Structure 1
Amino acid sequence: MNVLIEENAAHPGLPALLTAYHLATEAEKGAAVTGPAGLPAARRAEAEDPVTVFAADTVLLATVPETGRAAGCLVLKAGAVPEVKRVWVEPEARGRGLAGALMGEALRRAAAAGAASVRLTVWEWRQGPLALYRKLGFEPAASWDDRPGLLCLEKPLAPGDRIEHLTPEAVRAHAPGGLAALLVEAVEDGASVGFLAPPDPAEAAAWWARAAVTRDVWAAFGPDGAVSGAVTLLRTDTANGRHRGEIARLLVHRAARGRALGRRLLAAAEAHAAATGLTLLVLDTQTDSPAERLYRGAGWIPAGTIPEYAADPEGTLRATTLYYKLLAA
């Protein structure tokens, strides 16, 4: 099934999820409490103000599209060895892959940040979560928490993709090689990104050389140093549109797919846009393309669909859906 994963410590559904997690944990330990007021102060603070408590950490929410409700959560604690905490899925949503999706995203983010491993603790009686962690490759580790019944597990990580905001000089340097190859591959795979088939590598390189002057460009580099993805941000240069930017050419190499790289590239561009004063972003993508799920999951809002907007690489006119996202001021 489809599961939407988002990072949002301010999500309105998070306090209830954290409260449910702590109430269940207290009950399993034999110290059942009747409500949030009976939780230990530190646990109660998490549910009351997760934005403050987890300010340095990554808070992930899992949403089932058909309900639109956040039904699971996970906290990835920052540190030299990131630690997975507060993994919780509502009982009625279990068995649908939410915990696995949350764990997968947490592991991808930790690897992308350069972590050599990820650790977690789990109560020995939680056989379901324990089976999931073992399936994901977590192994027993030297204890860092000696509470009775608490197991300490750790998983080594392979190096992740590195995302870099390229200077114009760097864009031009990569244009005839990795960036052009990335664009050519996208067109060959059927992406509607401004080119018709068969794509000309020289034209693709020339497009990137022009982008070096007109756009912000981010590139992802795999462990071998090869370009594995890219995205661009085009700013509006009119006096009445300087608050607005456009996301375009979000591309991920086929060999790098499944690592949440598209979401990370998009997040990098969004963060830079917000940090540099933009308050609105727009984009368009071919209607019913796989990219739509990515944008919707990242909080983008569809504004409408235009029929026969652009030709696909084979020359067939296709509809395009327009999206926008308001950025925090």
Structure 2
Amino acid sequence: MINNLTIEQIDSVEKYIDVLSELLIQVVEEGASIGFLPPLQRTDANKYWREVVNPEVILFVAKINDQIAGSVQLQLCTKQNGSHRAEIAKLMTHPNYRRNGIGRYLMNGAEERAKQEGKTLLVLDTREGDPSNLLYSSIGFIEAGKIPFYAKSANGELDSTVFYYKSL
């Protein structure tokens, strides 16, 4: 466990654009399946972050000694028939800080906010076999199923994704 860890919601990325882009580039280089393939260009990472925060997306960051070490998004469903649910997206921990509980803290923060927003169901997906599968199962997410050949990896292979849900 790391001392001086805080989880914060940020409403604007401009102050953090460089460090968030570096976080995204690092986790993609390490093989994270979060929608991008390496090598991720800084201009693409910057563009991504500038488009993330909007009324339907709540962005959380994990800070250690005021330095961003990870992030996660709570994406609120705006469909009339989905107003009770939200999606967890893009859970990232900087490679220098992995295996210290940061992902768990970020997930707990997102879950608490979902409850405050009146959500009763969380959903997410992740690549089959990734370490995140163990995290999600350990915090009460239930596997709903798999889709084969869902996402392309850096080596060109098509990987399965696993969908999870959690009732709040």
The alignment's TM-score, normalised by the length of structure 2, stands at: 0.95
Rounded to whole Å, the distance in 2 between the matches of 1:258 and 1:193 is: 19
Which of residues 262, 268, 277 is equivalent to 2:109? Answer: 268
Paired AA for residue 164 in structure 1: E
Q: 1:109-132 CA distances to partner (integer Å, 9 max, x unpaired)?
A: xx6xxxxxxxxxxxxxxxxxxxxx
Instruction: State the 1:160 CA deviation.
Output: 2.4
Is residue 2:59 matched to residue 1:217?
yes
Residue in 2 that maps onto 1:259: 100
Cα distance, 1:173 vs structure 2: 2.2
Q: Which residue of 2 aligns with 1:282?
A: 123
Question: 1:173 aligns to what?
Answer: 15
Give the match for residue 78 of structure 1: none
Determine which structure has the larger strand proportion and give its number.
2
Aligned-partner Cα distance in 2 for 1:192–1:322: 14
SS at match of 1:192: coil
8 Å CA contact 1:196–1:315 kept in 2: the answer is no
Q: 2: CA distance between counterparts of 1:174 and 1:313?
A: 27
1:278 aligned counterpart, secondary structure: coil
Query: Would the aligned equivalents of 1:312 and 1:318 in 2 still touch at CA under 8 Å?
Result: yes
- What SS is found at the alignment partner of 1:198? coil
Which of 299, 303, 310 is the matching residue for 2:151? Answer: 310
**Partner secondary structure for residue 324 of structure 1:** strand
Deviations 1:154-195 (A, max 9, x none): xxxxx322211111x2x23212x1111111111100111111
Q: Supply the distance in 2 between the matched residues of 1:273 and 1:305 (Cα, whole angstroms).
A: 24
Q: Distance in 2 between matches of 1:234 and 1:300?
A: 17
**Aligned equivalent of 1:186:** 27
Residue by residue over 1:23-66, the C-alpha shift from the partner in whole angstroms, topping out at 9 and shown as x without a partner, is xxxxxxxxxxxxxxxxxxxxxxxxxxxxxxxxxxxxxxxxxxxx
**Post-superposition offset of 1:218:** 0.3
Structure 1 residues 12-23: aligned runs within 5 Å: none
State the shift of 1:203 in Å: 0.9
Q: Which amino acid aligns with 1:297?
A: S
Gaps of 5+ in 2: none
Alignment RMSD: 1.2
Alpha-carbon deviation of 1:248? 0.5
How far the C-alpha of 1:235 sits from its partner, in A, is 1.0
Query: SS at the partner of 1:266?
Result: helix
| Pairing 1:161–2:5 present | yes
- Matched residue of 1:292: which SS? helix
Shift of 1:307: 0.1
Residue 293 of structure 1 is matched in structure 2 by 134
Distance 1:241 1:315 in 2: 34
Q: What SS does structure 1 have at the residue aligned with 2:21?
A: helix
Q: What secondary structure, in the 3-state scheme, does the structure 1 residue paired with 2:140 have?
A: coil
Identity of aligned residues (%): 38
Structure whose alpha-carbon radius of gyration is higher = 1
Contact 1:191 1:313 in 2 (8 A): no
Give the SS at the match of 1:307: strand
The answer for unaligned runs of 5 or more in structure 1 is 1-107, 112-158
Cα distance between partner residues in 2 of 1:322 and 1:313: 21
The 5 A counterparts of 1:1-329 are 108=1, 159-167=3-11, 169=12, 171-175=13-17, 177-213=18-54, 214-223=56-65, 225-327=66-168
Counterpart AA for 1:160 = N
Indicate conservation of the 8 Å contact 1:164/1:219, yes or no. yes
Counterpart Cα distance in 2 of 1:229 and 1:260 = 11
Give the distance between the partners of 2:119 and 2:50, measured in 1 at CA. Answer: 24
